[in-house]
Amino acid sequence: MVDIETTGAWSNGDRITEIGAVKVRNHKVVDEWHTLLNPQRPIPAKIVQLTGITNEMVRDAPVFANVAESFMEFMGDGIFVAHNVNFDYGFIAYEYERLERRFRFPKLCTCAGMRRRYPGHKSYGLGKLCEIYGIELENHHRALCDARASVHLLNLINRKRHEEVAQAAEAA
């Protein structure tokens, strides 16, 4: 489960300010990885307001190139899972592209998974879903907190998927 915070919405112009990742095996958290990143550009005021990540906080943080190897090792042979996966994946893939490195992982989106398995909600934003399903989201728009909350969504999706498979097997 991966979540990032950025200086804005465009992977080709904005940069990552924080990465949080949680490794899950058999529905259980087995490891976590987290870093602030120096985006090498100012963080806009509206983003500071949203995330609480300030220019002072990232001033002495590593640049992406300095954590690229560590993050790749953390990912191992895993699946890249995120809420709105293409946003997070796109930013991270673009950072590896800048380093002339390949970043290729199978992707899974908890937002799409929740829409499919739990239809009918007005909003499928992380904050709204956490509210609906009683998932703790202490520090929304901070990468590690959002990644931890998304693990619960992944577990809900997997539980529902297993129920559907069991029901289909019974019906057969």
With residue 4 as reference, give the H or E element that holds it: strand 2-6
85 dihedral zone (left: phi>0; alpha: psi -120 to 50; beta): alpha
Catalytic residues, by residue number, are: 141
List the alpha helices (DSSP H) in the chain: 45-51, 55-59, 64-75, 85-98, 110-117, 126-133, 143-171
What whole-number distance in Å separates Cα of residue 20 and Cα of residue 5? 9
Q: How far apart are CA 116 and CA 75, in angstroms?
A: 26
